[in-house]
Structure 1
């Protein structure tokens, strides 16, 4: 018997869950001939794996399909509400009945002791662990567990994969909606496939609502129009877990699009970030770009960003999108220079890699009465006493004399700073 011989009152997404690996839709980078899971099944040599990816991409499905395909006893736990005693029970059952596939969902919720308990049993093959997490396993899963598992990333399903799942559900009379006579417009299929965010579960839930809430016509046919599909899946699905790995990927893509001067890409990721509601993360990226990637090429970029943030906060959404969109476009189109970032990085690097030496005596604090007795501040030359506002004197410690951290770029307003900087260094070298 298959694990998913579900009752008819179970949700469609549950009933249509693939029973074997051959039925799984998508994830071809893992399941296609020659890929890892395909080879594992063909060799009939189950190994422990750690699946991570967004919700609805097939982590639970693959675990059940593997157990059915490999004909292994199956046990399932969710680390949110399971404890060490639950794991111990499964291990004892495995000792009695043989090698068992344990599907452990949300494994990152287990503490180190709970994860470590599984180690000897995954090592000797008694337990084939299929662990699942929406979090980055390199951040949240015990290294000892990671070392015993093949880490496999699941990706959001493509629209064509979702469309295949919809058609499969409509034609399956046993587990799907095949008992109904349904006529569905291609535009309806496309809308669900495009707007479910790569989540098969959301797509099938929307399809089931559409079919079961639409009356049959005189010929007992249910017509699913585009308007019905929109009503049943009104809002595009986005991952908005602000602590999740995907959200940090979104912030990274936003920053790199700004740095790369791609206005269209930056506006796309801005829209996704606004949809997620992470105004703080979004505005921090804007400020960082102004200083890290534009820098001296247009120093006023920082104040422009601050003004845009204040405007957005006062307006609130949806109008906040206007100042945010405007500053995103401005940052993209401004000249870019990372000379500030590079200069600070080089200066900080010397702190940990070189002998620094003492601060020159003439630069030391001389505000107290006895400072001159210690040689503090003696021979200091006050730059404002000189016509050019500059005088040649040593500022770096002896050990770093002549060090150069700033390498200006001939771009935007930084060219003015570059000219002044070169003039000073030339005067000093004479």
Structure 2
């Protein structure tokens, strides 16, 4: 029986791993381990299909170590014993243990001494938060690394590689794919490469060849095999970004119906991660002090949606969109930080005033550091006038309140009171 495309395309060495540059890129921790041949046990956690098994396989291939794969939920203690015996014979085994959060205590107790001795290099894989779901005994003997969803660019690289690989991929088949279909395969799985590759293989094997003997994978074929609609049929691939732009601008413009419409289009295309990220940006960029409580509610809604997934996740997201669209708007926070960073980028930073400098070391007083600092809590109202900005920009004002909501009106009143007190 032929194995699935996603299985066949697993990397054979660390250089073939797609994405996860924070772990396997030049000078990063896992690459350092491989190059130094100093492997240590680890836990890889992140969403399905993002490369946890691939990294384990690549580590084994790069170090020429024996590699075994078990599942903590379904494989027995006897299976672990067989792996340990093999490790004693070969010197060391890299063991990928899927669903490590379901490892029971007898199996855990059996493994622990072999992890400590280095006989077994455990690579635990889980979609759960290991700080919550995995026992302290295992955590203390492993390093914990987060595996992140692949970017669209990473997905495109992996899909193209699978299309052209003549040994493990589809390179021996006469298969062509249009750009819209490629983008849809890359975007719609939300960083799940396994899902995209399996859908790609289905498309290649189930689509009849044309009169020239070529299998043409169109956007329509990609939609059917992925079971997700594209945002629109768009030759240049711009519609993806156009809909996201329209989504934010509709909320910013307080059009609740348009906001829900574009939310629906994004969710219909399976863009849960995009929606969640964009709503967090909107909450703090466009609403901000206009309705600070709405920003906090948006964070809760996003967390609920990520936990629920689709389709149920649409419900808390709809709550957030309606809340944000109908909230008073303010962009004073982003304007303030951009103005402050603009000064810094132009070289208008200046030296920290002496009375604000760190004074918690011997000799600081002799240097005049912290000597004239006034401790605000020692004064009435817990405030006292003193200079905080560097001399060169001591009169700079970055925060300019937008008086659209009661909270920001209160901030503006407090700012005016403090300004007059200087």
| Range of TM-score over shorter length | 0.5 to 0.7
Offset of residue 260 of structure 1? 6.5
Cα distance, 1:176–1:122 mapped onto 2, change above 3 Å: same
What aligned pairs does 1:228-243 form with structure 2 within 5 A after superposition?
228-235=221-228
Residue equivalent to 1:17: 10
Residue equivalent to 1:276: 310
Equivalent pair of 1:259/1:332 in contact (CA under 8 Å) = no
Residue from 71, 80, 89 that aligns with 2:82: 89
- Higher gyration radius (CA): 1
Distance (whole Å) between structure 2 residues aligned to residue 219 and residue 276 of structure 1: 40
What aligned pairs does 1:73-222 form with structure 2 within 5 A after superposition?
73-222=66-215
Offset of residue 67 of structure 1? 1.4
Secondary structure of residue in 2 paired with 1:51: strand
Equivalent pair of 2:65/2:92 in contact (CA under 8 Å) = yes
Distance (whole Å) between structure 2 residues aligned to residue 236 and residue 144 of structure 1: 45
Residue from 317, 322, 332 that aligns with 1:326: 322
CA displacement, residues 118-143 of structure 1 (integer Å, 9 cap, x when unaligned): 22111111111111111111111112
CA displacement, residues 387-423 of structure 1 (integer Å, 9 cap, x when unaligned): xxxxxxxxxxxxxxxxx9xxxxx995679999xxxxx
Q: TM-score scaled by structure 1?
A: 0.59
Residue equivalent to 1:55: 48
Residue equivalent to 1:71: 64
Offset of residue 277 of structure 1? 4.6
CA displacement, residues 10-59 of structure 1 (integer Å, 9 cap, x when unaligned): 11111111111121111111111100111111111111111111000111
Segments of 5+ residues of structure 2 without an aligned counterpart are: 231-271, 289-293, 332-381, 383-402, 412-422
Residue equivalent to 2:29: 36
Distance (whole Å) between structure 1 residues aligned to residue 165 and residue 123 of structure 2: 28
CA displacement, residues 364-387 of structure 1 (integer Å, 9 cap, x when unaligned): xxxxxxxxxxxxxxxxxxxxxxxx
Distance (whole Å) between structure 1 residues aligned to residue 156 and residue 314 of structure 2: 36
Secondary structure of residue in 2 paired with 1:208: helix
What aligned pairs does 1:339-354 form with structure 2 within 5 A after superposition?
none
Offset of residue 279 of structure 1? 6.6
Distance (whole Å) between structure 1 residues aligned to residue 136 and residue 225 of structure 2: 43
Distance (whole Å) between structure 1 residues aligned to residue 408 and residue 13 of structure 2: 64
The two structures, once aligned, show a CA RMSD in angstroms of: 4.0
Equivalent pair of 1:171/1:178 in contact (CA under 8 Å) = yes
Cα distance, 1:155–1:89 mapped onto 2, change above 3 Å: same
Distance (whole Å) between structure 1 residues aligned to residue 408 and residue 63 of structure 2: 67
Distance (whole Å) between structure 1 residues aligned to residue 177 and residue 325 of structure 2: 41
What aligned pairs does 1:287-366 form with structure 2 within 5 A after superposition?
321=318, 325-331=321-327, 333=329
Distance (whole Å) between structure 1 residues aligned to residue 115 and residue 309 of structure 2: 41
Shifted more, 81-90 versus 207-216: the winner is 81-90
Aligned residues: 293
Distance (whole Å) between structure 2 residues aligned to residue 160 and residue 107 of structure 1: 30
Shifted more, 251-260 versus 323-332: the winner is 251-260
Offset of residue 326 of structure 1? 2.7
Distance (whole Å) between structure 2 residues aligned to residue 228 and residue 281 of structure 1: 29
Equivalent pair of 2:328/2:405 in contact (CA under 8 Å) = no
CA displacement, residues 222-271 of structure 1 (integer Å, 9 cap, x when unaligned): 1112222222223279xxxxxxxxx99x9899679647654999599599
Cα distance, 1:270–1:261 mapped onto 2, change above 3 Å: farther
Offset of residue 220 of structure 1? 1.2
Equivalent pair of 2:305/2:313 in contact (CA under 8 Å) = no
Offset of residue 145 of structure 1? 1.5
Offset of residue 207 of structure 1? 1.0
Residue equivalent to 1:397: none
Cα distance, 1:324–1:149 mapped onto 2, change above 3 Å: closer
Distance (whole Å) between structure 1 residues aligned to residue 409 and residue 18 of structure 2: 59
Distance (whole Å) between structure 1 residues aligned to residue 278 and residue 129 of structure 2: 17
Secondary structure of residue in 2 paired with 1:114: helix
Distance (whole Å) between structure 2 residues aligned to residue 20 and residue 416 of structure 1: 59
Equivalent pair of 2:43/2:144 in contact (CA under 8 Å) = yes
Q: TM-score scaled by structure 2?
A: 0.60
Cα distance, 1:111–1:72 mapped onto 2, change above 3 Å: same
Distance (whole Å) between structure 1 residues aligned to residue 185 and residue 55 of structure 2: 23
